[in-house]
Amino acid sequence: MLLRALRWIRAKVTQKAERLLLRILAAGPIPKHVAFVMDGNRRYARSHQQPIHQGHSDGFVALRRMLEACLRLERTISLWKCRSMGKFWKEYGVRLNVLGKTSLLPEYVQEAIRHVESVTRNNNKAILNICMSYSSQDEMTTAVDSAVRLSLEKSEKSNSDVSEITEDDIDAQLFTSLAGSPPLDILIRTSGVKRLSDFLLWQCSENTQIHFSKTYWPEFGLWDFIPILLDYQRKAWGQRIL
């Protein structure tokens, strides 16, 4: 009983300390859009002699932990697949977007997506992008097709020549742009794997900071995230000075 009470007290103290730290960090430059490639669930489970499904369950706990931290900063978060995040879009006023070729998903999943996107459409504190049935190559191809189609329609209406397609035209038709997301500031991939795996390739511009963490996703937490935020702030302050 005493041990349980001590654990509860420690958890509460840690929680308050983390929230205080986030408020302090929020006083400086904060990234507007952070993306996560949540890698390492299976290897985490194997390293702890656990079944694979336990690794995914622990990874989901880590996801909730990181989303709570990020959403307290009221920013845009993009994820590659995840389960229902009902608590977060209700509690934090989050607008939820599902990005990708959702037409390939089962109809009941599409209906659930339409419902959640409709219910959260007017939430304006933060944006949560969940990428499902998604690849960057498909996103870029779709964006180019849309930009060309819009240019042709504009040309027909104005009876003028087709205008040149620019990077801005393509960027405006990306899934993330259509969902109202700002440019990508930070992309984080866990587990030590150093590749992007066809995720947000166009969005990774020269200003995007890419971090490869050796930590498996189920173990990734605020104390792994803080050095990344501090590095972002250091570089942001440096750019302001220059």
Q: Give the residue numbers spanning the domain of 72.
A: 30-135+184-241
Spatial separation of the C-alpha atoms in residues 198 and 202, rounded to whole Å = 10
- The continuous run of DSSP H or E covering 206 comes out as none
Question: Which tokens sit at 237?
Answer: 């302050």
Spatial separation of the C-alpha atoms in residues 11 and 21, rounded to whole Å = 15
Q: Give a yes or no: residue 25 inside a domain.
A: no
Q: Give a yes or no: residue 142 inside a domain.
A: no
Q: Give a yes or no: residue 123 inside a domain.
A: yes
Q: Give a yes or no: residue 151 inside a domain.
A: no
Spatial separation of the C-alpha atoms in residues 30 and 25, rounded to whole Å = 8
Q: What is the DSSP letter of 181?
A: P
Q: What is the pLDDT of residue 195?
A: 93
Q: Give a yes or no: residue 49 inside a domain.
A: yes
Q: Give a yes or no: residue 122 inside a domain.
A: yes
CB 129 within 8 A of CB 81: no
Work out the angle at residue 79's Cα, subtended by the Cα atoms of residues 78 and 85, and round it to the nearest 5 degrees: 100
Q: Give a yes or no: residue 148 inside a domain.
A: no
**Total domain count for the chain?**
1
Spatial separation of the C-alpha atoms in residues 11 and 17, rounded to whole Å = 10
Q: Give a yes or no: residue 173 inside a domain.
A: no
Per-residue pLDDT of the chain (242 residues; tens, 9 = 90+): 666 665 666 666 677 777 787 788 888 899 999 999 999 999 999 999 999 999 999 998 998 888 888 877 878 999 987 655 556 666 778 899 999 999 999 999 999 999 989 999 988 888 999 999 999 999 999 999 999 999 999 888 888 877 889 999 999 999 999 999 999 999 999 999 999 999 999 999 888 999 999 999 999 999 999 999 999 999 887 766 55
- The continuous run of DSSP H or E covering 57 comes out as helix 52-72
| Residue 98, domain CATH | 3.40.1180.10
Phi then psi for 180, rounded to 5 degrees? 85, 20
